[in-house]
Structure formats: C-alpha cells, structure tokens
Structure 1
Amino acid sequence: MFDQLHPTTPTILAALHAAGLTATVEPADGGGYQIHLPGPYDTFALIGCEEVLPSAGEELTALHSQLQSAADGDCLAVVFHRCSDPACMHAGCGEGAVLDPAPLVAALADAINGRRPAFIPNGSDFFNHEGIRYGAYFDPAEHAVTITRDVRAGVSGPFGEAPAMTFGEAEDVLRGLGYAPVTEWAGPTVDGSFYCYLLRPGQ
C-alpha cells in the first residue's frame, strides 16, 4: 500500500505514533486512502489531503483533519487545516504554506486527548442532525456554568446549571455531565459570561 501513497504518509504515521496516537491507513469512501484515528466520546478523526491521501506521483497540496461522529459519520469539527491554495482564507494557508506534519499531529493530540482542537470552523458544523447545537456559558461573578441548546432556527434555552468557581472547574462540570469542550472560552459577553461550544457522546 505505502508504495502507492505519497512519501509524506509514513512520516505522518510515524509522527502520530511517536505522539502516542493509534493511527491506521484505511480505504476511503469513493476510493483512495485516509488515515484513521479513534477519538473520544464515540468519535474518530480522519486525515486527508484534503479528502484523501495523495498517491506517490501526486503533489502534496494540503493537510486536513476532522473529528467525526462514529454514529452517523457527520463532521463534528475541523481539527486542522493547512493548504497551498492561494484563495484559502485560513491562517497559514496560501502559496507559501509549509505542509509540515508536526502542527497537524499536535492539533490531533489535543483533540484525541479530550482537549480542544487547534482550529474550529464557524457555521453549522456544531449542529447535530436535529439542528441543535450545545454550548456552555460560564459566569465568574455568579460562579455558575450553564449549558444551552441552540436551535438552528435561532431559539435558545438553558439546559441545566452547575456551580463552578474557575474555568477549570467549569470544564470539569461539563466533562462530568458527558460534554467535551471543543473551543476555547470566548468573551466576555455583555453580561460578563464566557462561552464555548460542546460535543456530546453519540453526536
């Protein structure tokens, strides 16, 4: 198999294994190959360039990884993206992009180990198939973290509240309830709260 793939592929695998990550090259839907890694909370990560790994005679033009649901295969979050496309608006992309596997592996190590991916897209990728996105608000003044359900139509509502004094305690509460923070805390909002988006097991 490896004699059919770009020589960067074994390099990526070696770097993943050196970081303690289990990774295998698997056939992709529609042909070609991708690197597959088991992830947290019934998820898995895929590495492609951008969709599938390049063959031995092709040019390496991108490194891309996303976290997906094992239940339905939906993309939950983009973990890493770097490409040489001059029209790409992502940081680090363009004609002078350095396609070094090290930042990709570092981002995946964070995601697989239950921490936050290095890059999260805006838009609909956080919504599940029912059109619901889960988030958390932490109010340091009130010492409370609140989970919210944001519906695609724009209707939002609280979905439980728990005491927390620090950001670390807020994240412990979220993990204890079965949620995984997938963005850094942002804010503060007008009421002094900080917020992040979440994944749930089975989504």
Structure 2
Amino acid sequence: MSDIEDPKTIECPPNTLTRRDLIKRVIVGGVAVSSASYLFRASTLLRQSAPGTGERLLTINVNGQQRRADVMKQETLAWTLRHKLGLTGTKLGCDRAECGSCTVLIDGVPHYSCSVLTHTVRDRKVLTIEGLASSDGTLHPVQQGVIDEQGFQCAFCMPGFIMAAVAFLKTNPNPTRSELAQGLSGNLCRCQDYDKILTAMMRGAENMRGASRV
C-alpha cells in the first residue's frame, strides 16, 4: 500500500472567516484605533488647557486701577475683563472683530477687545464702560446723552457705541451728524436703531462741549 494518500480523500479545514466577519473586524479595528487617537489628543488638550498650565499672573491698568489676573497666553482682553475681572459691561457679540460690542479704549484709542490678547496690554491703560462715570457717580456726558434721548432699543450694543463715541468726540468734539455716523461705522446694532443712536450720540457731543465750558 502506498503511503501517499489520494488527494481526493484529503479534507481541507473549512474557512471559518466569512466576508461579513472580515468586514466586522476591519470596522471594529478602525473604530478602536480612531477612538484611541481621539482620546490621546483629548487628554493632551486637557493637559495643555488645565488651570495653571501656561498661565501667568499679569497686572493690568483697567479704569485707573491696577488689576491682577491669571491669564492664558491665548486669552483675549474681552475674556479677561468679563470672566477674570468681572467687568461684564464689555459685551461679546460676534467674537471676531465685526460688531464692535466689545469696544474698549486702550491708551485712548478704541479697540475690539475680542481681538486683543490680554498680555499685549501690559503697561497700557484700558478703559471700559464701567470706568466712564466719575467717582461720585456722575455719568459721562455721552452716557447722559443716551439717557436723555433713550437712544437704544435692547442696548446690548450700547457699551461699544458709547466707548467708540467717547474716543471719536475727543478728536472731533463738534461733528456733523454725517461725520459722527462715519466715526461710529465700526459698530453694529442688531436692532438697526441707528437714527436714535445717532441722535443720542449727538446729544452726548453737545453735553461734552457744555461740560468743557464749565
């Protein structure tokens, strides 16, 4: 008898891996890899943004006072003012330097605080809407003009308009209505109440001229 078996009698083991099983393994493997990659990135980001990581204690001159705050390197002035110093009069609207609601004065010049990094204002003077009134509570002439004319509807954009107007009126204390409109063109009002806003700002300009004569 020959030791070589007849090929016809050799039984091949059945293929236990079906096409469906293969697809399942590929999907599960891909999800596992993707999940691991996501978790790794997330944990890295959490470590980078954890409190105290990359922060530094800054002293900022805000409304005539030296204020200290822990500030992240990428932190904007608007965020610091609102969430670190509690000065919520500065509003965040678009958060991309388009609407002007976050306008503050830096060394007397209007800036969108949502696009200014806090660490860049060291050794500079920041003025917000909270710092306009006198220490005895007397409102700034532009603020009083807004009250006199009831110049805003919802008033969300009001702080930004007032700060921009204060800066503009220092350079042009007696503007025409058209000049003032041009000077405030960087500020937007969602209610589109521009006519009343201009009337209020013109009253503010008049109040400022009257105050300078006293």
TM range (shorter): under 0.3
Give the strand-richer structure, 1 or 2: 1
Give the helix-richer structure, 1 or 2: 2
Q: TM-score, normalised by structure 1?
A: 0.26
Q: TM-score, normalised by structure 2?
A: 0.25
